[in-house]
Structure 1
Amino acid sequence: MARSGRRRRAFIGSFTAAGGPGLVTAEIRADGGALTLTGRLGTVPDPSYLALSPDGDMLYAVSETAEGAVAAYRVGGDAPEPAGPPVPVGGSGPTHLSVHAGHVLTANYGSGSVTAVPVRPDGTLAATPSGALRHTGSGPHERFQRGPHPHQVQPDPGGRWAVSVDLGTDSVRVCTLADGVPVLHREFALRPGSGPRHLAFHPDGERAYVVNELTPTVTVCRWDARAGSLKPLAEVPLLPGAPAGDAYPSGIVVAPDGRFVWTATRGEDVLSVLAVEGSGGDGLRLTGTVPCGGHWPRALAENDGFLYAANERSGDVTWFAVDDSTGLPRYDGSVEVTAASCVVFG
C-alpha cells in the first residue's frame, strides 16, 4: 500500500526482447483498482522483476539477460530516474530480486546462483556484488531440472533469513549474509519433480506456501523463524481436474488477513482461490478458479483489495476486485502492456 501523502502508483516490468516497453508506470484510481498508464522507461533490457526499497524511495529491477544485471531508480518524483548504471550480478538470467539486510539479492535462474549487491546509504547500488552462493543439484524432469535454477529469493518476515526457491533442485534454501556473502544455513527438499517456483509467507510468520511450476500444486509448509527451518506438510492441487494442456503455475499471493491464498497458472490461464483452514491454519483447500483475463499470467500481485495479473503473451495487466467473504476475484479491467511480467505497488 502507498504511504500517506504519496500518490498511489504501480510499476510494471516487461520483456523488451519480446517487444515490451521496459519499465512502465501507472496511477491507481483513487476510488478503485483501475490503472492508468503514465510513462515508460527503457533503460535496461528485460526488466522482468521489480522490487521497492523499504522506504519506497528506490525501485530496483533485474535485467533478465544472459549477462544478468540489476538497476536502481529513484521514484520520489513524477517519473522514475536511473540512479547509476546497471550492475552486473555475475550470474545469468536473474528472474527475481528483493531487498535484504542492506543488499539487493538476485535469483539467477540461468547460472543457478544467488547474488548480493550492497545498497549504499542513498539507495544506489555498489559497483560490484559483495558475494554469491552457487546452488548445486538437479531433479527428475529432463527438460527443466538438469541443474539448479533458483527462481526467487526473499527475506523471511522477521528479516533474519534469506529464502531462495529452486525449481531445478526441488528445494528451498535458507541463507544468511556474512559480510555481504550469502551463506547456506540449511536446504529443505520438496517432492521430486514438483519444480518449486515462488514462496509466500502467511501474515502470522509461521506458515509458508510454495507454488510448484512443474505440477499445478501448492506445498503448505511450517516456518520456524528461530531455527530457520521449513517443514513441508501437504501438497494441494490448484486445478479442479487434470489440465487440458500446458499448466505452469507462476505467481502466489497470500491475503493480507491470511484467510486466502491466490495463484496464477499459465496455459490454463486461471487464477485459483484457496481457503486457509484446519487446525492451526495448516490446511489449504481449493475453492474455485476464474479466468485471468488474458494469456500466460506470469505474475500476480495484491493491492488494496484488488488482484493484478501480468499476462505476458496477451500483453496486458488485468485487475480483479476480491469478494471479501469468498476470496473469489471478479474481473474489473485491464491495460495494454506488451510482454508484461510483473507489477509492484508503492
Structure 2
Amino acid sequence: MKIPVKPMAVGAATLRSRAPCPNNTTGGSQVLMATTGQIHIADFDGSSFTTTMNATVTGAPTWVEFVQPNKLYAVNENGDDLRLFNLDLSGPELSEPVATATGSSGVVHLEFNKDKTRLVGSGYGAGTVDVWNIENDQFTLIKTIESTGELGPVDPNQAAPHPHQSVNDPSGRYFVVNDLGTDEILVIDSADDAWELRTPTKTAAGCGPRHGVFYPSGADVTEATHYMIICEISNDVVVYSVSYEDAGLTLTETQTISSFVGTKPQGAAGGEIALSDDNTVLYVSNRLTGGDSDNITRFQVAQDGSLTALDETPTGGLLPRMFSLGTGHLFVGNQNGPDAAVAFALSEDGSLSQEAVASLPLADFGGAEFFGPAYIKQLN
C-alpha cells in the first residue's frame, strides 16, 4: 500500500524561509524533518521543539539524507529528480539545489555505501533501483537495476514491483532491497563497483516487505547474523539468519511474529523498523490501526536474533511512516495529526515514555492531510 503523497503547488525555484528564532540557542540538538514541499529544522532541548527553519521546496522530499557538515540529498517521490542542497545548520538555511539529476520515478529511500561515494535510490514508482556516483558533489548514474520478480497476490498493492528500501550490510559489500510488490528481498553485490544481482529471497506471499535492519549493528560489526523486516501488508516482522557465501549473501527465515502485541486490526499497514544501539530492542510502527492514534511496538531481541513482543505506545497521531532513534529519545513523524512531529523519552530498558516529551502540531506543517513529516531524524 502506498499512502498518498499529495503534490504541493509551489514555484519552480526553491524558496527559503526561516522561522522567527534563527539560531540554535537552546543548547540542545537539531532535528531534521521533511515532507511534501517542505524541509524543516527544529531545535530540541529534551522537552520542546522550536522550529528554526521552514524551507519551501518543489516536489516531495519524503526521504532525505544529511552528510556533515552541510550536504542534504533529497528524493522527489512525486517525480524523477534527485537533488543535492547545501544545508547550513548555523543559520539554519537551505540553499537552492547545487546539483540535480534525473533517475527512476517515485524514489522513496536513499542509502549510502560505507564511504559515502555511492548512493542507492529505491524507485517505488518505477520498479527499479538506481546506483549513483556522488563524488565531487555531482550525480553520475552507474547503473539502474530492474526488479523483475513475480508479483505478490495482493491487488492493488502488488500490481507492480515496488522497491521500497535498500540496506547496506555491515560488511559494506551487499545491499538488500525490500520489494513490496514482488514479495522479494533483492541482493545486490557492489564488489568492483559492478552492482550485480545475486539470488533473491522470497518472502511469504502477501508480506509486502517494506523496511529492514541488519542485526547486530555497530561500528565494530563487520558481518550480520540476522536481517529483520517489517511487512507492510501482512503486518508481520520476519527474522532471517544471514550467511555469507561465494554466491552472495543468503537469508534463511527463522521467525515470523505479528507487528502487534494483540490482535491485528484489519487494513493496518506496517511502517518503519529500527534497532537500538545496543542491539537489544527492536521497534516497528503500525499505521492505519483504526484508532485515534497509531502506535509503535517494542520487541526484546535475544542474542540468537529471536524476538519477543513487549508493548505498544501510541504515537499521538496517525500514519507514523518514519521514526528514528536519537540520543535518549525516539522521534516520530506522523503524516496526520493531531501531533505531527513527536519525541518520546527512552528508558534504559528501551521502553518509551507513555506521553510525548515534545511535539509539533500538524498545523506547523500546513495543516493539510498527509503533510506531517514523512522523514524525521536528530542531526546532532
Compute the TM-score of the two structures, normalised by the length of structure 2.
0.80
Distance 1:232 1:284 in 2: 13
Could you tell me whether the CA contact under 8 Å between 1:175 and 1:184 is conserved in 2?
yes
Distance 1:286 1:263 in 2: 11
Could you tell me whether the CA contact under 8 Å between 2:34 and 2:61 is conserved in 1?
yes
**Which letter maps to 1:228?**
L
Distance 2:130 2:359 in 1: 35
Structure with greater Cα Rg: 2
- Residue 19 of structure 1 corresponds to none
Could you tell me whether the CA contact under 8 Å between 1:118 and 1:180 is conserved in 2?
no
Does residue 298 (structure 1) correspond to residue 321 (structure 2)? The answer is yes
- Residue 44 of structure 2 corresponds to 28
Does residue 344 (structure 1) correspond to residue 377 (structure 2)? The answer is yes
Measured at CA, do residues 135 and 329 of structure 1 come closer, stay the same or move farther in structure 2, by a change above 3 Å? Answer: farther
Could you tell me whether the CA contact under 8 Å between 2:167 and 2:213 is conserved in 1?
no
Give the one of 162, 169, 192 matched to 2:182. Answer: 169
- Residue 118 of structure 2 corresponds to 103
Distance 2:314 2:239 in 1: 24
Distance 1:41 1:326 in 2: 33
Distance 2:314 2:306 in 1: 25
RMSD over equivalenced CA pairs, Å: 2.1
1:214-263 superposed Cα distances (whole Å, 9 cap, x missing partner): 01111011223564222221111111333344310101110101111011
Give the one of 330, 343, 355 matched to 1:307. Answer: 330
- Residue 277 of structure 2 corresponds to 256
Measured at CA, do residues 248 and 88 of structure 1 come closer, stay the same or move farther in structure 2, by a change above 3 Å? Answer: same
- Residue 62 of structure 1 corresponds to 75
- Residue 71 of structure 1 corresponds to 83
**Which letter maps to 2:117?**
G
What is the CA-CA distance between 1:273 and the residue it aligns to? Answer: 0.6
Give the one of 201, 208, 216 matched to 1:195. Answer: 208
Measured at CA, do residues 62 and 155 of structure 1 come closer, stay the same or move farther in structure 2, by a change above 3 Å? Answer: same
Q: Which moved more, 1:212-221 or 1:243-252?
A: 243-252
Q: Which moved more, 1:111-120 or 1:154-163?
A: 154-163
Alignment of 1:2-21 (within 5 A): 8-16=29-37
Could you tell me whether the CA contact under 8 Å between 2:65 and 2:72 is conserved in 1?
yes
Alignment of 1:43-58 (within 5 A): 43-53=57-67, 55-58=68-71
Distance 1:34 1:224 in 2: 44
- Residue 259 of structure 2 corresponds to 238
SS of alignment partner, residue 141 of structure 2: coil
Could you tell me whether the CA contact under 8 Å between 1:13 and 1:23 is conserved in 2?
yes
- Residue 17 of structure 2 corresponds to none
Does residue 215 (structure 1) correspond to residue 260 (structure 2)? The answer is no
Distance 2:84 2:47 in 1: 26
**Which letter maps to 2:374?**
S
What is the CA-CA distance between 1:178 and the residue it aligns to? Answer: 6.4
What is the CA-CA distance between 1:87 and the residue it aligns to? Answer: 1.4
Segments of 5+ residues of structure 1 without an aligned counterpart are 1-5, 17-21
Give the one of 139, 142, 149 matched to 1:130. Answer: 142
Give the one of 332, 340, 362 matched to 1:316. Answer: 340
**Which letter maps to 2:44?**
I
Does residue 141 (structure 1) correspond to residue 154 (structure 2)? The answer is yes
Distance 2:138 2:378 in 1: 21
Does residue 158 (structure 1) correspond to residue 177 (structure 2)? The answer is no
1:97-131 superposed Cα distances (whole Å, 9 cap, x missing partner): 1112612211000110000122123xx222x5222
1:46-95 superposed Cα distances (whole Å, 9 cap, x missing partner): 00011123x45422111101x32211122344223244243111x22111
SS of alignment partner, residue 129 of structure 1: strand
Distance 1:82 1:179 in 2: 34
SS of alignment partner, residue 47 of structure 1: coil
SS of alignment partner, residue 233 of structure 2: coil
Distance 1:236 1:33 in 2: 34
Distance 2:347 2:128 in 1: 39
**Which letter maps to 2:131?**
A
Distance 1:139 1:37 in 2: 42
Distance 1:51 1:345 in 2: 11
SS of alignment partner, residue 75 of structure 1: strand
Of all paired residues, the percent bearing the same amino acid is 22
**Which letter maps to 1:98?**
E
Compute the TM-score of the two structures, normalised by the length of structure 1.
0.87
- Residue 88 of structure 1 corresponds to 102
Q: Which moved more, 1:190-199 or 1:240-249?
A: 240-249
Measured at CA, do residues 56 and 274 of structure 1 come closer, stay the same or move farther in structure 2, by a change above 3 Å? Answer: farther
Measured at CA, do residues 118 and 326 of structure 1 come closer, stay the same or move farther in structure 2, by a change above 3 Å? Answer: closer
1:5-44 superposed Cα distances (whole Å, 9 cap, x missing partner): x97322111023xxxxx11112222xx2643211122233
What is the CA-CA distance between 1:329 and the residue it aligns to? Answer: 4.0
